[in-house]
Chains A and B, each alone.
Chain A
Amino acid sequence: MNEISIQGRARILGDDINTDYIIASRRKRDSLDPEVLRAYLLEAVDPEFAASVEPGDLLVAGKNFGCGSAMEVAATVVLGAGINAVLAKSFSRTYFRNAINNGLLPVVCDTSQVVEGDALSILLGTDFTVRNETRDQILNADQLSPIVRSIVMAGGLVTCFREHGGFPTSGVIS
């Protein structure tokens, strides 16, 4: 894959959305299946949120998205809800890695001007271009490091290992 193109409707969240808010740890007691857990997505923030998600929606958050735990269901539940990218001012490092590894695209950009329901488009080719189509604005996105980009382009870490037997080597010193 040389290019990833995603369009969707902005769903606005605040700063410091932690993994327990994305999916409560106690929900893992009953199931790890994203198809089951999606019903509880962001329930601590808004109990009505999960039911309002339409496939193709995009999460748009402030700073430090995914802080707290390293639990990976916090990434897979978002994908399970049909959301393929999260835009935020910054991510916790564990959430960023988990997102990349699972094929959920984390986009670091200034999200402060995005409004609930705005139509956004993301194009990851040679460069990373994010547009707010509703407001005709470009959101300057941080470029991905070479190793992260190659995991993204492979579709995630599972594909890297299954098809290439290990980490992509480009962008790594050793």
Chain B
Amino acid sequence: MSQPQLGNPGKTIAEKILSAKSGHDARAGDVVVCALDHLMATDGSMPMTIDYFDRMGGDKIASPERIVVALDHYSPAPNRQTATLHDQIRAFCKPRNITVYNVGDGIGHQLALETGRALPGSLIIGADSHTVTCGGLNAFATGVGSSDLAAAMISGEIWLRVPETIHVELTGALQDRVHTKDVALALVGKLGADGAAYQALEFGGPAVPGMSIDDRALLANLSVEMGAKCGIFRADKVTDAYLKGRGVDRGAPTSADNDAVYSRQVTLDLTSIVPQIAMPHRVDNVIPVTEAGDVPIHMVYIGTCAGGRTSDLHQALEILRTGAGFAEGTQVIFTPASRNIMKEVSSDGSLAEFIGMGGIVQSAGCGSCCGTCGAIPGDGVNVISTANCNFKGRMGNAHASIYLASPASCAAAALSGRITDPRGFAG
């Protein structure tokens, strides 16, 4: 093992976590083999993982207690084939003591945050691109395919190229009716769909201490929409309070050195950010909501690992309750990201209020995000959504168009039936 040498520059959070997990002085560009803290698969990726595991001659699982499978993509199973996949997953996991989160428990990434599996300083892989969400809690979390996950289940390890890091400095404070989703979309628009390819995004700056874990998880979540390997926040009092509130360990908080080397610095002044919208069919096709033109909206979607949290429904309701009801013919759907969130919005009355307005509630999970279960938009339908992807066909119909925006902008569209600036609603 090589030792850090005097005079070496400092390290980013990504370099520090990969150094700790590889037992090496890991620097950007190095390839290292790392021990994993948490491995996650979904019902979307686990069936192929089982197949690779068998073909690799898989016998023993390195650390079954570190692995979970979330039945979130087909939640609930929409057909016989996917119900059969669930049975196959349960049959594989039970004798091997691998935890299965059941249909309706929620999205794997959200469950990792809530259950203490995503901890500061930990290294996480998940066979799902939005595993990066866990960076909101100071974890190095990255998405892989089913074959890498199978290899990691057998070996407990993964090879990784240590990424360069882009530092994202967040300054100022958000204006009324502007939300973290607008910040995330502004960043995606600025960097582009491959602007952070193969790199880590490290979020810092004076605005960060005031951001909730929901906000941080959202920014980390959209990192992959810029091609990033991971998006990471440092741990602080907000992180500690979140973990303590769930009765879990505070992990190994990891911050960057003052003289860490970054590939690029990007500054976003939150004060100047206005509501943003990603136009079809590209997540980086981002403009201010006010420039979207007169676009009728037929379906409003509040959900997914980007925008299906309690705070998202609360933000939407703030606007919704100022109006006289949903625009005629508009479907408004909420899919909580987890059962815990479903319970929160049930007990605080939000869910009843939403249902009373005419809202539709789906089982906790990935919902309509990628057309694997839940409502599917019809031909010619325009959807406004709190999700993170708007590729053509993403929600299960290539003849629909998906606009990505904040919960507030989604709510404003629900009331007016068109894309609408949420700042126009007093409340």
Contact = CB atoms under 8 A, between A and B. Distances in A.
Interface of A: 16, 18, 20-21, 24-26, 28-32, 43-44, 63-64, 67-73, 75-76, 90, 92-94, 97-98, 101-102, 145-147, 156-158, 160-162, 166-167, 171-174
30 contacts: A16-B194, A20-B391, A24-B398, A29-B79, A43-B398, A64-B197, A64-B227, A67-B193, A70-B144, A72-B147, A73-B48, A76-B48, A90-B194, A93-B227, A93-B229, A97-B145, A101-B145, A147-B159, A158-B55, A158-B56, A161-B58, A162-B57, A167-B159, A172-B31, A172-B32, A173-B24, A173-B26, A173-B30, A174-B23, A174-B32
B282 interface: yes
Interface in B5-55: 22-24, 26, 30-33, 44-45, 47-48, 52, 55
Contacts, number: 156
Nearest to A73: B48
A32 B391 CA distance: 21
B371 A26 contact: yes
B193 A16 contact: yes
Interface of B: 1, 22-24, 26, 30-33, 44-45, 47-48, 52, 55-58, 74, 78-79, 81-82, 127-129, 143-148, 151, 154-155, 157, 159, 161, 193-194, 197-198, 227, 229, 282, 370-372, 376, 389, 391-394, 396, 398
B52 A21 contact: no
Given A25-B370, A73-B48, A101 B148 contact: yes
Nearest to A169: B33
Contact of B151 (A63, A90, A147, A161): A161
Q: Which 9 A-B pairs have the closest CB atoms?
A: A161-B56, A98-B145, A72-B145, A64-B194, A101-B147, A26-B371, A25-B370, A70-B143, A70-B129
Contact of A161 (B57, B74, B229): B57
A26 B396 contact: yes
A86 B316 CA distance: 43
